[in-house]
Amino acid sequence: MANIPLFKSKIDLKDFKAMNASLKTGWLTHGKNNLIFEKNFAKYIGTKYAISMNSCTSALECSLKVIKKKGEVIIPSWTWVSTANAVINTGNKPVFADVDINSRNITANEISKKISKKTIAVIVVHYSGLPCDMNEIVNLLKKKKINLIEDSAETLGATYNKKQTGSFGTGCFSFFPTKNITTTEGGMLTTNNKKHYYEIKKIIAHGINKDQKKFFWYRVADLPGHNFRLPNHLAALGNSQLKKLNSFNFARRKIAKEYNKFFTKMGQVFEIQNVKKNFTHSYQMYSVLVKKNKRNSLLYFLKKNGVDASVHFDPPLHKQDYLKKYSVKLKNTERLSKEILTLPIYPDLSKKNLNFIFKKIETWYKKNK
């Protein structure tokens, strides 16, 4: 029986060589490789600045810390818990908004319903690799003078109107092993705001201003910070991975195209994600809706037959225990949590294994349509 994982990182000999070269220098903490990685990453995204750190969660927290007031932060409930954690850990209140059922993303219309006098920021989450419809969101938030933060953990290499996600507002990226490139653990923040850039550099390094020139030994904290730094050798891995990102995403899109063809032919039980012409999808995940209360049946069938399918996400955030006090009725989000199915996708997923997945779904479908 096949054993097909849901996600699989692709780390090759060049990646190992990059890490080994870094380790041989003896410099193990934040160092020169971080600066190289940050420069190349900012260039790729199209922003003035990028700051490497230990996670996307840390990037989200930093993006909120530089807003000099507390209040409400609008976020989708249809996301990983770190988005809400960042809001609460910075002394703010999460306000949950619904998403569009076809794109599975938050929209300007849903955001507008939640804006109040207390709103200080909106965190859009580009779900599974598909960007949100950013023009309307950017225009709305500019008009309301509300900060825009992009949780781009799942969309590295995805574009909206030929512009990279993470370049519309403050971008927050993840390099967790399931993502499009990996540093094992790690993240990146992108911004065009010079003031925020220098303040966040301090926040991730205990609040210390490392750019001061008074004495070479001088280390004075300007603000209460954290140790959110990414080690030098992991930055070397990230920079090596970044060089292959386009080829990784090309492979992911090719696999997703096959999935889309397959499910389109299968009938009305399945519903694929809607990707419009001015969007490019990075397919960090491949998800499909399984309607008629049949999702769990298919999920268990695939797991039993060696296909590591899963669900992203059930329960949604507003249904989770410690977040229930912020709960509201979110019709589309709640439907998605009952119907969404995540299937294996990664650059090295073979045609043979993809066909195996298709055959197993066909076998299940014949018995359950």
Residue 287 pLDDT > 70, yes or no? Answer: yes
pLDDT at res. 343 = 98
How far are the Cα atoms of 190, 202, 236 from residue 42, in angstroms, in the given order?
7, 19, 15
How far apart, in whole angstroms, are the C-alpha atoms of residue 122 and residue 147?
A: 6
Q: Provide the pLDDT confidence category of residue 1 given band limits of 50, 70 and 90.
A: low
| Strands 119-125 vs 93-97: parallel, antiparallel or unpaired | unpaired
Query: Which tokens hold the place of 291?
Result: 């309607």
Give Cβ neighbours of residue 28 (< 8 Å, ≥ 6 apart).
231, 232, 233
pLDDT at res. 347 = 98
Give Cβ neighbours of residue 217 (< 8 Å, ≥ 6 apart).
none
Q: Does the model's pTM come out above 0.75?
A: yes
Residue 284 pLDDT > 90, yes or no? Answer: yes
How far apart, in whole angstroms, are the C-alpha atoms of residue 216 and residue 294?
A: 65
**What value does the mean pLDDT of the chain take?**
96
Contact 191, 197 (CB under 8 A): yes
How far apart, in whole angstroms, are the C-alpha atoms of residue 19 and residue 8?
A: 19
DSSP secondary structure code for residue 190 in this structure = E
Give me the domains of the chain, ranges plus CATH numbers: 13-242 (3.40.640.10), 245-368 (3.90.1150.10)
Contact 208, 202 (CB under 8 A): yes
Closest CA to 49 of 200, 197, 171: 197
Give the model confidence (pLDDT) of 230-272 as tens digits: 999 999 999 999 999 999 999 999 999 999 999 999 988 999 9
Query: Which tokens hold the place of 42?
Result: 């900012």
Residue 116 pLDDT > 70, yes or no? Answer: yes
Query: Which tokens hold the place of 117?
Result: 């006098």
Q: Which helix (H) or strand (E) holds 288?
A: strand 286-290
Extended strands (E) in 61-194: 72-76, 93-97, 119-125, 147-151, 159-160, 163-164, 170-174, 187-191
Query: Which tokens hold the place of 193?
Result: 């705001």
CA torsion 331→337→341→343, rounded to 10°?
110
Contact 307, 4 (CB under 8 A): yes
| Residue 174: strand pairing partners | 187
How far apart, in whole angstroms, are the C-alpha atoms of residue 330 and residue 320?
A: 13
pLDDT at res. 48 = 98
Contact 85, 78 (CB under 8 A): no
Contact 75, 99 (CB under 8 A): no
How far are the Cα atoms of 50, 140, 220 from residue 32, in angstroms, in the given order?
14, 39, 22
Q: Mean pLDDT, to the nearest integer, of 12-24?
A: 98
